Structure 1
Amino acid sequence: MDKFLEKIVGFTQKRYMKVLMDGFMSIAAVSIAGSLFNLIKSIPIGAWQTFLATSGLGTLLSIPVSITSDLMAIYVVFAMAYCLAKSFNRDGFAAGIIAFGSFMILTPLTASSTAVDPATGERLVTTVQNAISLSAVGSQGIFLAIIVGLLSARLYVFFLDRGWKIKMPDSVPSNVASMFENMLPGGATFIVFLAIRYGMSLTSFGTAQALIYGILQAPLMKVGGGFGGLLIYMVMIKIFWLFGIHGGMLVNSAMYPIMAAATAANQSAFAAGLPAPYPEWAYGSAVCAGIGLLALNLLMFIAKSKQFKALAKIALPTSLFNITEPMMFGTPMIMNVILGIPFILSPVISVLLTRLVMTIGLVAWPTGASSNMFIPSPIGMALLNAHWTGFVWGLVLIVINMALYYPFFLVADKRALAQEKESEAAE
């Protein structure tokens, strides 16, 4: 078992897995910034919504959403190339610019617009030349952006390692010398992607975007982007934590592409006034980020053991904001057979019940906006569905999780108390 866990931890530290995680973390601020405007637009006050519609402010607030979710693939391709080049101690910014150019070489310069004939009601599709479809650079282009970012940066490093650069005299300023050094690697990388674009044009897919989305992203999103994918994601995080592995970092490194694509698609749908295509990933973080351990933290205030009483006071300020490390290591949860059972069941029950109450209409569905995971869960739920029922349901979930943990907590507290008495007797 130890060797197996060591291999898993080693896998997360592999260069490309680490680049994936670092790359998505580096653009998290962009996604969150766009979500803030989503949240402002979704405040469920009738007068506010009327003001947004009549004043034009609603259209203005949609712009930050569009330049984040609708252009997410552009941020991703730059971030992936930047992080990979930096891991080889190369110029990350130059690699990012070359990756962006490579991605645009693969991007079709045609877009389609749809209009309805007022006389016949027929849908008319018009192809616009020298235009870029937002779907190609938005959520549907994220998987291709990952591939292009990594491949172009690796080619950039490869060409530099082979000495494909114009060496300038030492007297030339470094910024000028860097420009000439990157010309040959950048040009060679562009040639590679031009060849890929031409090859794609000979296939039935026509473009690299259509190929990657059709054979990779769409199938993965159907499997991992749905309700079952969220459950597996939540459970695996908890299982790894029980073995002393930071489950969030490990599972996120593998799931970030799906999470990013789902979040971007939800935000784009929200900006367009459409239902969230991946609602599970909208409420998943708010429901399960730290509700279970917050419930356990609250139970510790009635503990008889000194250990849990002290931990209850110390950990509560962080538990309220879904920062779980004090509870994880203070309890401890690692290799904890008793509390490990509700620890794993908590996200499953929370997600299933949330899906149920939303399906039957007791709680409003999420709008597609996203919020910071460090916002207290009841508030986060209210922001995500722009409705008071989200806040109430967040409180109800805390109570449900307290009931789930309660019998297991009594056993753990009894054992902790017995150990404390044994230590006192020995002293």
Structure 2
Amino acid sequence: MKSFIAFMEKHFLPVASKVGNQRHLIAIRDAFAYTMPLMIVGAFAVLINNLPIPGFQEFMNGVFSQKMGDSYVWTLLGGNIWNGSFAILSIFISFLVAHNLAKSYGVDGISAGIVSLGSFFAVGGAQGMDSAGLFVALLVGLLSTELFRRLSDVDKFTIKMPDGVPPAVAKSFAALLPAIITITVFAFITMLLNAMGIENVVTAFYKAVQEPFMGMANSYPTALLISFITPFLWFFGLHGANMIEPFMQTINAPAIQANVAALKAGKEIPYIVNKPFMDSFVNIGGTGVTIGLIIAIFIVGRRNKPYMSVASLASAPGLFNINEPLAFGLPLVLNPILFVPYILAPMVCVSIAYFATASGFMPAATSMPPWVTPPIIGGIIATASWQGGVIAALNIAVAALIYAPFVYMSTAMEINKANKLLDD
């Protein structure tokens, strides 16, 4: 194990650190972080309109019998919230990715965000403002900002205003020519694609790339890979969750929207793997299903004073899926004894939850509770079912069993170490 850790520190850590600090990935990750409240409220709104509780729809329709078109008035609240969240998600992402990336270069983020929005609509974003246009919004946000900032560095393209002009006006004129050129470039490329027979770039891209990618990402092997990568990176001190967040979010938002749409239409839920699935059934207590580790310490590691001290402090944040006290206090980072259960527990838990969903025992996740929602409660909310709570509880128990032998081993080593010190 020592030779393995030394090899990874020499060859793997430098590469992984560069990836984790890559400005484009950080821009995408932070953009989705800003939109998370919108995705949560949007998913909740539609879920409430379509709660899978027998008699709920009939009861609400009876109490609020007024209709507007084909919809009962009481359902319009959720629909309106959807229109203000998921229905325009790609617009937010297009602006925020460009804004974050531009700021990382020291360029005016507001101007870059506005130019990105203009470029997004120039390529047909009006037909893909929801999550269907997400990949295109990401690409436009990144590419338009790279072009915009390079043009902004050219003095000939910068209109400088005299002193005394309000800063907002000065910035708008400085960005004028780079903005015109950038948006024109995207409009010209779209015109060429239209001439080639591609009527709508966003729709064509979704069918050719995004939809197949979502289907591939929804597979069991991919779920296993995701559950492995995050704790593996954390073991070496890298924030695994943050590093794979851009990938998770590009499949998460469209998958949640598709699941909710299927729920609303009374159809089979298409996607099992998404962010609430991972948060509620795999990252319970934090990466590595560490709520199981805390339980194992309280059961079989009570004589291990260092472990008990850290577990006592970590139990409260662990109930809200925060496990940095364990990661760095126990520690889990570079701990060869806990490496195996730290990797194995989430892979076993993702298998249990995946096949519980695929078999029909548990509904697929259609709601997105905040990632800090306490264990078991998160499973119930995500799937709108008691079965979600059962599977979450089962995963906690299984994780505790996986951690227990290794905690016992660590405790025995700690006791032997203490006895040896006493003998000396």
Matches within 5 A, 1:100-179: 100-107=117-124, 132-133=126-127, 136-163=128-155, 164-179=157-172
Give the deviation of 1:262 after TM superposition. Answer: 2.5
Matches within 5 A, 1:21-420: 21-41=29-49, 45-46=53-54, 48-54=56-62, 55=64, 56-107=73-124, 132-133=126-127, 136-163=128-155, 164-281=157-274, 282-291=276-285, 292-302=289-299, 303=301, 304-363=303-362, 365-420=363-418
Amino acid at match of 2:404: Y
Asked if 2 retains the 8 angstrom alpha-carbon contact of 1:293 and 1:324, the reply is yes
Amino acid at match of 1:296: L
1:120 aligned residue: none
Asked if 2 retains the 8 angstrom alpha-carbon contact of 1:52 and 1:58, the reply is no
Secondary structure at 1:338 match in 2: coil
Q: Deviations over 1:178-220 (max 9, x none)?
A: 2222221211112101101111112243332144324432332
Amino acid at match of 1:61: G
User: Partners of 1:101 and 1:284 in 2: how far apart?
Assistant: 35
1:2 aligned residue: 9
User: Partners of 1:278 and 1:92 in 2: how far apart?
Assistant: 35
User: Partners of 1:357 and 1:18 in 2: how far apart?
Assistant: 34
Amino acid at match of 1:95: A
Identity %: 28
Amino acid at match of 1:321: F
Distance verdict in 2 for CA 1:392–1:191, change over 3 Å: same
Asked if 2 retains the 8 angstrom alpha-carbon contact of 1:69 and 1:267, the reply is no
Distance verdict in 2 for CA 1:60–1:272, change over 3 Å: farther
Amino acid at match of 2:74: L
Give the deviation of 1:145 after TM superposition. Answer: 0.4
Asked if 2 retains the 8 angstrom alpha-carbon contact of 1:238 and 1:343, the reply is yes
Q: Does structure 1 residue 15 correspond to structure 2 residue 12?
A: no
User: Partners of 2:367 and 2:51 in 1: how far apart?
Assistant: 11
Mean alpha-carbon deviation: is it higher for 216-225 or for 7-16? 216-225
Asked if 2 retains the 8 angstrom alpha-carbon contact of 1:65 and 1:271, the reply is no
Amino acid at match of 2:175: N
Amino acid at match of 1:58: T
Q: Deviations over 1:286-318 (max 9, x none)?
A: 101125210110121132111122222111111
Report the TM-score, using the length of structure 2 for normalisation. Answer: 0.87
* Structure 2 unpaired stretches of 5+: 1-7, 65-72
Give the deviation of 1:354 after TM superposition. Answer: 1.8
Asked if 2 retains the 8 angstrom alpha-carbon contact of 1:69 and 1:268, the reply is no
Amino acid at match of 2:198: F
Asked if 1 retains the 8 angstrom alpha-carbon contact of 2:32 and 2:249, the reply is yes
Secondary structure at 1:26 match in 2: helix
Amino acid at match of 2:379: M
User: Partners of 1:367 and 1:290 in 2: how far apart?
Assistant: 15
Q: Deviations over 1:338-368 (max 9, x none)?
A: 32212212122112112333344433x1252
Q: Deviations over 1:19-52 (max 9, x none)?
A: 2222222222221232332454455555654344
Report the TM-score, using the length of structure 1 for normalisation. Answer: 0.86
Q: Deviations over 1:142-197 (max 9, x none)?
A: 11000101111222212211121322211222222222222212111121011011
Give the deviation of 1:237 after TM superposition. Answer: 0.7
Distance verdict in 2 for CA 1:403–1:348, change over 3 Å: same
User: Partners of 1:259 and 1:352 in 2: how far apart?
Assistant: 19
Mean alpha-carbon deviation: is it higher for 253-262 or for 388-397? 253-262
Secondary structure at 1:137 match in 2: coil
User: Partners of 2:245 and 2:309 in 1: how far apart?
Assistant: 32
User: Partners of 2:423 and 2:79 in 1: how far apart?
Assistant: 67
User: Partners of 2:101 and 2:267 in 1: how far apart?
Assistant: 36
User: Partners of 1:351 and 1:387 in 2: how far apart?
Assistant: 18
Secondary structure at 2:81 match in 1: helix
Amino acid at match of 1:11: V
* Structure 1 unpaired stretches of 5+: 109-131
User: Partners of 1:65 and 1:275 in 2: how far apart?
Assistant: 21
Mean alpha-carbon deviation: is it higher for 181-190 or for 31-40? 31-40
Asked if 2 retains the 8 angstrom alpha-carbon contact of 1:322 and 1:376, the reply is yes
Asked if 2 retains the 8 angstrom alpha-carbon contact of 1:69 and 1:265, the reply is no
User: Partners of 2:294 and 2:400 in 1: how far apart?
Assistant: 9
Give the deviation of 1:272 after TM superposition. Answer: 5.0
1:129 aligned residue: none
Distance verdict in 2 for CA 1:234–1:77, change over 3 Å: same
User: Partners of 1:385 and 1:78 in 2: how far apart?
Assistant: 31
CA-based RMSD: 2.3
User: Partners of 2:225 and 2:348 in 1: how far apart?
Assistant: 13
Distance verdict in 2 for CA 1:205–1:416, change over 3 Å: farther
Give the deviation of 1:100 after TM superposition. Answer: 0.9
User: Partners of 1:232 and 1:103 in 2: how far apart?
Assistant: 32
Secondary structure at 1:406 match in 2: helix
User: Partners of 1:67 and 1:409 in 2: how far apart?
Assistant: 48
